[in-house]
Each structure stands twice: as C-alpha cells, then as structure tokens.
Amino acid sequence: MRVLETVSPSGRLLAVAAVAAWGLGAVLGWDELVLLGATAVVLLAFASLLTLGHGSVRVAVGITKRRLQPDDSTRCAVEVEHQGRRSLFAPEVELPIGKDRVEVFDRGREIEIAGLRRGVIAVGPATTVRGDPLGLLRRTVPMTEVVEVFVHPLTVPLEPLGTGLLRDLEGCTTNDVSMSDLAFHALREYAPGDDRRHIHWRSTAKLAQDGRFLVRQYLDSRRAHIVVVVDGESFPDGDVFETALSAGASVVKRAVADEIDTTVVAAGHVSRRGGAQHALDVFARAELGGPVLAEAATRAVAAAPDATLVVLITGAKHGYAELRVAAAAFPPEVRKVVLRVDPSAHTKRAASTAFTVLTLRQLNDLPALLSGGTLQ
C-alpha cells in the first residue's frame, strides 16, 4: 500500500498504458506497441531508481514566536543540511504552513509568516521529497514534528478583579457558615457535638446564664476560582463570535494577572487552571458551531467543581429561560454573570435574583461595563 502511495496519477496512467500497449502489441504482432510499452516500463524503472534511498538530509524548523496577536507576524527558520556528498538528484524539502501554503526549497531559508487571523496555524511537518523530473513517482519522508502557532484573540485591559473577591490567608469568604475557619461571623449557643475549643469564654461569662456556653461561628473561606464559558452556537456570524472570544480572553487575562484560579470552556475546548498563555490557547482553538450554552455550562461544572464565579458569554439568541437553565448547572453559592454580545443593542447592566445580565455591543465597551466591581 505504501508503494502505491508513491505513484502519482500520471505514473499510474503510464503503468496501465505500458501493460496495455505491450500486451496488445504481443497479441497483434505490432512491434511499435511493444516498443512503446517497453519504453514506458523503462521510464517507470528510471523513476523508481530516483526515489530509492533514504538520503542523508537533516532538517530543523524553529519558530521565533509561537503565540501572537491578530495581524502580528513571526519568522520560521528552516535549516537543511545535506550530509555527505550532495548529488544532482538530492531531495527537496516541503514545509506546509497552515492549510494551503506550502514552501518548497532544497536548502535552508527563513520564512516570514504574516497576516494571521485568530486560530491555530500548523507548521510542518517538514518532509523530504524524492521523485523524478516527469512526476511519475513521488516519495515523501517526514523529518520534523508539527509545530503549532497560536493566534490569540484581541483583548482590552480591565481593572483588577481582586477588589471584590475578598481574600484572607486561605482564600475569599463566602456566605456558608462554618465551625472552623478564619473569618469570624457570630456567636451562638453551644450544641452537643461542637468543638469545645471554639467556646468564647469571655462572652459566656458576660452573657450566658444557667450554665449555657457560647461558641464562635465562622464564614467558610475558599480560594477564588473564576470560570469563563463561551458557547459556540448562539452567534449570528463570525464577527460576533470573535467579539465574544475577545471579551472572554480579556477577563481571563486579567484574572490570571490577579493570580486567581481560572478555568476556560470555549466552544467545547477546556483549559483547567493553566497560565495565561495556555488559557488563551483555548480561545485560539475555538471555532463557531460548538456545543450549546447549557452543554458548555455542564462541562464547566465538571472541570471546575470548586468555582466561585462563572461568566457565561453568549449571543442574543438565548432568552432569559435558557440563560437560567445554563446558570442552574452551577451550585447556588456560585456567583453567576451572563455576558450577552449583541451588536444591535446598547451596552448595559441588568441584575436579577439568579444572576447578573450584561449586554455588550462592542469590545471597547467592556472595560466600562466591568468597572466598579461588576464581577464581585
């Protein structure tokens, strides 16, 4: 099967013609057809000789920058070393860049990759190509691995998110009552089973009567953990989807800078508590047409069961009932913010008992929309 893969369509056509001409010439007694078939066989044999051998070529590919912004450029350095004596029919080297662009050369060179849009650009694998001048046979051997270049979405600078996420030595306080933590909440009467180490003796001596004791109660503390979810099916076109990804990437970039644990679910791709670059890589991989918002929210719950804040980014397609279903996937104690990207609406905020709804018209409105502790 691998041998057949080296034969080009023109080579297969020539092989069929050779067999047909030779056979027909032998049957009819036409020496011209036999000679024609023999000539085709000689050509195929000569082409086979040119494709044989492993070749002593070393290829190395290096990328200057693997993570870029849209319209940025990077340079790809390709080193080609022909070990030993270089023959006339030394193999060429092909380097695929993206889906369509292929560079062909027989010695080292430097390639500029420019004009990129958000996404993942696959560079490589670099392959050596052996073949004949007529293109009858073509044998390729991969020499390097595929190198991915990530083009992240555009982002806008945001105010620090840590202002409203009150953090103590262990994390941020919640509304959950605990019997042992750092954030003091209140005093209550002692109940069987309470730890006697939490009895507040001074208050007991002043306020308690009839031998009753007062114990301390605390608010449970937990480390802040933001989850950003971008669904991939509620946007009318690619431009609105790009705005949604840019908004999510801006929030993630700010959260990572504030040293807040961050999980990203973008159109089905998941990143769990990675650094800023790895989290933004998820946005680069996202494509329009991913899972619906409710399914994306379910994946986010599985990826981050200890979330304290979730930002659901969606389009104008979903109504309040659908947004409520997606938000209900998270526990009640998790704060929920829904960011609806709608170029035809005005940027605004609307709070409800279940979650806060933000409407974003364009990316430049995001800093003002999130200012003043909106994500608190």
Residue 93: phi and psi, rounded to 5, are -120, 130
Residue 373 pLDDT grade (very low, low, confident, very high; cuts 50, 70, 90): low
> Which are the contacts of 263, defined by CB distance < 8 A and separation ≥ 6?
225, 226, 227, 228, 270, 271, 272, 273, 300, 303, 304, 307
Q: Provide the number of structural domains found in the chain.
A: 4
Q: Residue 355's pLDDT is what?
A: 80
Average of per-residue pLDDT across 66-75: 85
- Determine, yes or no, domain membership for 170: no
What spatial distance separates the first Cα and last Cα of the chain, rounded to whole Å? Answer: 62
* Alpha carbon distance 296, 312 (integer Å): 9
> Over 70: is that where the pLDDT of 209 sits?
no
Same domain, 299 and 349: yes
Domain housing 82: 57-151
> Over 50: is that where the pLDDT of 173 sits?
no
Residues 349-373 as b or e (16 or more Cβ within 10 Å = b)? eeeeeebbbbbbbebebbeebbeee
Same domain, 190 and 278: no
Same domain, 239 and 215: no
What is the token pair recorded at 237?
């076109």
Q: Mean pLDDT lowest for which of 90-94, 236-240, 297-301? A: 90-94
Same domain, 253 and 365: yes
Q: Mean pLDDT lowest for which of 43-47, 223-227, 299-303, 316-320? A: 43-47
Same domain, 258 and 322: yes
Cβ atoms of residues 185 and 217 within 8 Å: yes
CATH number of the domain enclosing 364? 3.40.50.410
Nearest alpha carbon to residue 162 among 31, 54, 261, 40: 261
CATH number of the domain enclosing 100? 2.60.40
Question: In the β-sheet with 109-113, what is the strand arrangement from edge to edge?
Answer: 57-63, 74-82, 109-113
- Determine, yes or no, domain membership for 376: no
Total-model pTM: 0.69
Residue 123 pLDDT grade (very low, low, confident, very high; cuts 50, 70, 90): confident
Q: Residue 175's pLDDT is what?
A: 47
Cβ atoms of residues 177 and 219 within 8 Å: yes
Domain end residue (candidates: 167, 191, 222)? 222
- Determine, yes or no, domain membership for 158: no
Same domain, 234 and 262: yes
Average of per-residue pLDDT across 74-103: 73
Highest mean pLDDT of the ranges 105-109, 112-116, 309-313:
309-313
Q: Mean pLDDT lowest for which of 50-54, 138-142, 365-369? A: 50-54
